């Protein structure tokens, strides 16, 4: 179980590093149309890192409840704890939204809230509910134009703070809306119910991920070469928004491969100092997420002499991709050092500790 948790935390560390790259690049780089090889490399993290982040969140909830001998009282306590954490994340995310309009935490809180209703069902139903989440998205897609509420000149959601706009953004066409992104969380819950100590588990999940990833990449290559009409080509090659099925499948495939590799590394090199440092970093992803969007953004503004765009598209000349990459790596390195030194005195990260005090 300890090795299993170590690999899980390594995957979370990878996810937060990817989110550093994506968010710094979104605010200060040329994420829409990168023209250089490093910019292209940075764009590869878009979608993949978020998917792993959400899947790992689902795994975390599932690992908390992955026992067969819980009493009725134990189940009630766990459900209450997860609900309280979901409310904490929801409130923290809405607070952060005023600073970073691409916030994922309030969506994360929504995923956890609904997950609390599904904690102790057989794991096969997580796959069915994931499928249902995607179906609901397409039903909404047929009813509500996906661009409703958006100003795509700067990616500002105009009516977010109105009741109808908030509900629409949260459930349908926000950056990481419950439908269909909750499907990632449910897949994570399914993964968390697997026995990762069995070698075949890692091998099978990696194989599924590899097949999915290659299949969609081949399909996308056909689309780029004009084998489909414009409608299907746009559907197949769409990235992140709207989160069409090919995008979801390719990011799920990539996530399955990364998580399997992390599980293997965590088991194979469990005593390695670097692996242990990354594990501690993965245990503090909530704190690192908020820190990089606040202190990280403020520092980047000072270093680049740019204005902070509040999670919107940068209107000034973009920062060179190489500097964004160097900054993201450096910030992650400092985050790892912080995690190591913090863990010498405290069991959990700063915000993780606050969340646990509130939720019990």
Q: What is the pLDDT of residue 264?
A: 92
Distance CA 43, CA 249 (A): 18
Instruction: Give me the residue label for tokens 């270093």.
Output: 303
Place 66 in a pLDDT band, splitting at 50, 70 and 90: confident
Burial class (CB in 10 A: 0-12, 13-18, 19+), 40: exposed
Give the pair of three-digit tokens for residue 93: 């995310």
Place 188 in a pLDDT band, splitting at 50, 70 and 90: very high
**Residue range 24-43: average pLDDT?**
80
The rounded mean pLDDT for the chain is 90
Per-residue pLDDT of 312-343, as tens digits, reads 766 778 888 899 999 999 999 999 999 999 99
Specify the DSSP class assigned to residue 320: P
pTM of the model: 0.91
Q: What is the pLDDT of residue 311?
A: 72
**Exposure letters 145-155 (e unless 16+ CB within 10 A, then b):** eeeebbeeeeb
Place 3 in a pLDDT band, splitting at 50, 70 and 90: very low
Distance CA 62, CA 60 (A): 5
Helices 273-282 and 2-28: angle between axes, nearest 10 degrees: 70
* pLDDT exceeds cutoff 90 at 210: yes
Per-residue pLDDT of 275-305, as tens digits, reads 999 999 999 999 999 999 999 999 999 998 8
Give the CA diameter of the chain.
59
């Amino acid at each position: 179980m300890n090795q299993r948790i170590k690999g899980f935390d390594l995957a979370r560390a990878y996810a937060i590093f990817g989110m550093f790259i994506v968010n710094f690049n979104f605010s200060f780089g040329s994420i829409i149309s990168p023209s250089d090889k490093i910019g292209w490399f940075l764009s590869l993290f878009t979608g993949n890192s978020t998917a792993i982040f959400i899947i790992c969140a689902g795994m975390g909830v599932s690992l908390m409840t992955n026992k067969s001998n819980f009493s009725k009282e134990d189940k009630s306590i766990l459900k209450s704890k997860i609900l309280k954490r979901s409310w904490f994340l929801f409130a923290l995310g809405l607070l952060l939204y005023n600073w970073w309009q691409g916030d994922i935490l309030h969506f994360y809180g929504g995923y956890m809230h609904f997950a609390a209703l599904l904690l102790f069902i057989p794991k096969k139903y997580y796959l069915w509910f994931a499928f249902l989440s995607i179906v609901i998205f397409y039903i909404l897609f047929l009813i509500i134009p996906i661009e409703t509420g958006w100003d795509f000149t700067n990616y500002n959601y105009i009516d977010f703070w109105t009741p109808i706009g908030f509900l629409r953004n949260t459930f349908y066409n926000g950056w990481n809306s419950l439908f269909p992104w909750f499907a990632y969380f449910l897949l994570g819950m399914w993964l968390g119910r697997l026995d990762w100590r069995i070698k075949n588990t890692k091998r099978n999940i990696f194989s599924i991920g590899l097949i999915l990833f290659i299949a969609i990449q081949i399909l996308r290559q056909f689309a780029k070469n004009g084998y489909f009409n414009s409608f299907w080509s746009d559907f197949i090659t769409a990235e992140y928004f709207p989160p069409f099925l090919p995008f979801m499948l390719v990011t799920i495939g990539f996530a399955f491969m990364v998580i399997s590799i992390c599980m293997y590394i965590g088991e194979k090199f469990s005593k390695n100092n670097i692996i242990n440092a990354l594990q501690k970093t993965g245990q503090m992803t909530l704190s690192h997420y908020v820190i990089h969007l606040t202190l990280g953004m403020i520092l980047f503004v000072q270093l680049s002499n740019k204005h902070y765009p509040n999670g919107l598209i940068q209107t000034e000349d973009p920062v060179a991709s190489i500097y964004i990459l160097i900054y993201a790596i450096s910030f992650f390195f400092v985050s790892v050092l912080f995690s190591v030194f913090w863990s010498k005195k405290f069991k959990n990260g700063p915000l993780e500790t606050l969340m646990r005090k509130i939720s019990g």
